[in-house]
Amino acid sequence: MAKEKRETIPNSQATRVIPQGKLLIIGGKEDKGDTPEREKEHNVNFISEQILKRFVEELKGENPLVVVIPTASRIPEETAQDYLDVFQSLGAKNVQVADIRNRQDANKPEYVELIRKAAGIMFTGGDQLRLTAIFGGSEMLVAMKEQYAFTQVVIAGTSAGATAMSTPMIYEGESEGGYIKGDVRVTTGLEFLKNVAIDTHFLTRGRIVRLTQAICTNPECIGIGLEEDTAIFVTQGGNVEVVGSGLVTVVDGMGITETNIYDIGNGQPFTAKGLRMHMLGNGDEYVVPSYMRFQLQ
């Protein structure tokens, strides 16, 4: 039987697409059942494997397929195996790896078909620039966005896999600084969240200033900093729920009244006034403004 062809939505109608899919965007080092007891005792919010359990619980269908994508990692086999093990231990038995190493792989029909069958997709950590350079404009990314728009797929990413979910995407910066103009480098991400910049390992690595610089250069955007073992669960393209043991920091630059970022040269410290910041914990909610949300192109 011939496969039904999905009608392409004109760009003029793209803003009216409310995704049926869901995003689970993780700040890195999510618990896989191996967190030391001293760390569990330190935080009363800690729940073992809470984030990955949520991923498995949200999967739809009988024997749902989970596709693990370890492309960001320099050790993809080892990284993928970690997730194969933990997902199977949590009851997801139908787990496959899409071992994408280059742009040719990202356009192979067998991998595209795997994405179209997936109930869940998991991007591992590593280097987010590998994800955008390999998947940008690929058939696999087109398939993922269509699945996100029209099905109940759950797309998750941790660390680099989380940072790549958004646009703008921070791909390099001085983690302990970021206050010097030119320290922070930004490019286009995979655009599941548009006009939202994601940063990970946020409090542990002191990244609030680098996220702020990214927002000062893109003040129409929202910055979301995710602490380790902490995630945001996103529905309808922008309704956010915090999941996990740490904090989520939201940096809102739309009210900036003054900044020197456009007057100073590289190597000089930037300043900003009028920023707003929110700090959210497990179960808290936040709504991304509607005009910033996902567009299917």
Note down pLDDT in tens along the chain; length 297 residues.
Answer: 444 444 444 444 444 689 999 999 999 999 998 877 656 666 777 889 999 999 999 999 999 999 999 999 999 999 999 999 999 999 999 999 999 999 999 999 999 999 999 999 999 999 999 999 999 999 999 999 999 999 999 999 999 999 999 999 999 876 556 899 999 999 999 999 999 999 999 999 999 999 999 999 999 999 999 999 999 999 999 999 999 999 999 999 999 999 999 999 999 999 999 999 999 999 999 999 877 778 776
- Note whether residue 40 is domain-resident: no
Q: What is the dihedral of CA 160, 164, 169, 172, to 10 degrees?
A: 30
Q: Is 159 considered catalytic here?
A: yes
Instruction: Give a yes or no: residue 173 inside a domain.
Output: yes
The single residue of 30, 191, 201, 245 carrying the catalytic annotation is 201
User: What whole-number distance in Å separates Cα of residue 13 and Cα of residue 260?
Assistant: 37
Which of the following is catalytic: 73, 159, 166, 245? 159
Position 37 in a domain: no
Asked if residue 4 is part of any domain, the answer here is no
User: Active-site residue 49, yes or no?
Assistant: no
* 42 catalytically annotated: no
Report the C-alpha gap between 263 and 55 in whole angstroms. 45
CB-based contact 194:293 (threshold 8 Å)? yes
Q: Is residue 12 one of the residues assigned to a domain?
A: no
Does a structural domain hold residue 296?
no
The torsion defined by the Cα of 83, 89, 92 and 94, in degrees rounded to 10, comes to 70
Q: Choose the catalytic residue: 58, 146, 191, 228.
A: 228
Nearest-angstrom CA–CA distance, 288 and 196 = 8
Domain limits for position 87: 20-31+47-291
pLDDT of residue 176: 58
Query: Residue 229: how many CB atoms within 10 A of its CB?
Result: 25
Any domain includes 62: yes
Does residue 3 fall inside a structural domain?
no
* Number of domains composing the chain: 1
The CATH number of whichever domain residue 59 belongs to comes to 3.40.50.880
